[in-house]
Structures are given as structure tokens and as C-alpha cells.
Amino acid sequence: MTIQFVIACGLTALEGYLLGSLLFGLVISKLFYHDDVRLHGSGNAGMTNVLRTYGKLPALLTTVGDVGKSFVAVHLGQLIFSSLMGAEPLVDPICGAYLAAIFCVIGHSRPVFFGFRGGKGVLVGAGAALATEPWVCLALLVVFLIEFAITHIVSLGSIIIAVLYPVVTLCYWAWKGTDVVSLAFITVCCALMGIYVVWLHRSNIQRLKNGTEYRFGEKKRENQ
């Protein structure tokens, strides 16, 4: 059982990372604009920088791609755990989904296919939440929209939901009656993912402290 668990974790981590390494923002910028979105704005390949650089349609396509790859990754992770762990798994197969989510975020931020320079993983995390716990995703979306309506700062909302994600997820699965081992596994995965996303926003946090962070609708500023 232990060997099967290690193999399941290894395969899940691999598929999550490789899918995460598919940067749709960068693919779109190269395919349609013969450009590298990372050369503009914040230097990231995420939706926000695509929106500021190229406009709404490319940003929408980036959103669909980044959410979609995470959606696929977590379902594959759950399938791998379900297939390899047998009828009496050490942990619930849903744990595979959360492990895949972590590595999908890592792949998105450090993509092996694109020089290890990617985005900050917020949409990837959103796709994971949507695939595993739609009600949690909805609750976090409401929090994000309220914050955005007040401040118009995307990064602040991203940081807030990254911090709330493990807490809300823990409450959700505890309410569902998940066993203690699986609950601990899920919570650790979500906490690590939240911490990593916040760490990726460390430059944004500094700008928030300085009062210079980009507000949606402002004129684009390079290196921000």
C-alpha cells in the first residue's frame, strides 16, 4: 500500500506539473501577436497581464485555458489515486486532486516548457477549487468580487482568497465528514498552495505597502 501511495503521488505530481507548465497566456501572445507577454507589464504570463497588454478576448482565452488545465489536472490526479490505491485506499482519492493542484500551480509559475518563468497561479487554483469544491469556489469568488469592487486591485483579492482557501476548504470537508487522514492531507495541500501563491505575490505585497499597486483601469505601467 505504501509503494502504491508513493507511485500515485509521483504520477500525480508529474501530470499536474506538466499540465501546469502549459502557459496559455504565453501561447496566445506568441500565436496571435508574435510576442512574449512576459516582456510587458508585470512580466508574468497570467490573465491580468494579458488583459492589460492585449485586451479582453486574449484574457478570456487565457482564463479558459488556465482554469481548464487545472480542471483536467485535478481530475486526472483523483483518477490516478483511485486506480492505484485500490478498493481500500490509504486516503480518499480526492486527495490526488489536491496534490495535482499544488503541482499544477508550481508548473504554472515555473513552467518547464517556457524557461521556468510563468504566472502566479491564481486562476489555476480557482480551477482546482471549481473542480473539487464548487461551493468553496463560489464563496471565494464572492469575497474576491467584493474586494475588487471596493479597491479595484486584483492582486489584493488574489492574496486574500489564497489565505482563505485552506481555511474554507478545511471547514467544507470537515462538514462533509471526511476521515481525519484525508482531511489532514487536503488541508496541508491547500495550505501549501495558499502560501506559495502569497509568496509569488511578494512584489505585489510590497507595492501594496508603498501604495503603488496597479488598480484595474489605470494606464499600464511597465514592470508592474
How many whole angstroms separate alpha carbon 9 and alpha carbon 100?
A: 9
- What string of DSSP letters covers 89-132? -SS-THHHHHHHHHHHHHHHHS-GGGTT-----HHHHHHHHHHH
89 pLDDT tier (thresholds 50, 70, 90):
low
Per-residue model confidence (pLDDT) at position 222:
45
Q: Does residue 132 belong to any structural domain of this protein? A: yes
Q: Does residue 24 belong to any structural domain of this protein? A: yes
Domain tally, the chain: 1
Taking 60 as the threshold, does the pLDDT of residue 103 lie above it? Answer: yes
Q: For 39, which DSSP code?
A: G
Q: Does residue 153 belong to any structural domain of this protein? A: yes
- What string of DSSP letters covers 156-178? HHHHHHHHHHHHHHHHHHHHTT-
Residue in the structure block whose three cell numbers are 464563496: 139
Taking 80 as the threshold, does the pLDDT of residue 217 lie above it? Answer: no
Q: Does residue 217 belong to any structural domain of this protein? A: no
223 pLDDT tier (thresholds 50, 70, 90):
very low
Q: Does residue 216 belong to any structural domain of this protein? A: no
Q: Does residue 109 belong to any structural domain of this protein? A: yes
Average pLDDT over residues 51-55: 91
Taking 90 as the threshold, does the pLDDT of residue 1 lie above it? Answer: no
Average pLDDT over residues 41-67: 91
Query: Residue 124, Cβ neighbours under 10 Å: how many?
Result: 32
- Give 192: exposed, middle or buried? Use CB within 10 Å, 0-12, 13-18, 19+: middle
CB proximity list for 91: less than 8 A, separation 6 or greater: 5, 81, 85, 179, 181, 182, 185
Whole domain around residue 43: which residue ranges? 2-210
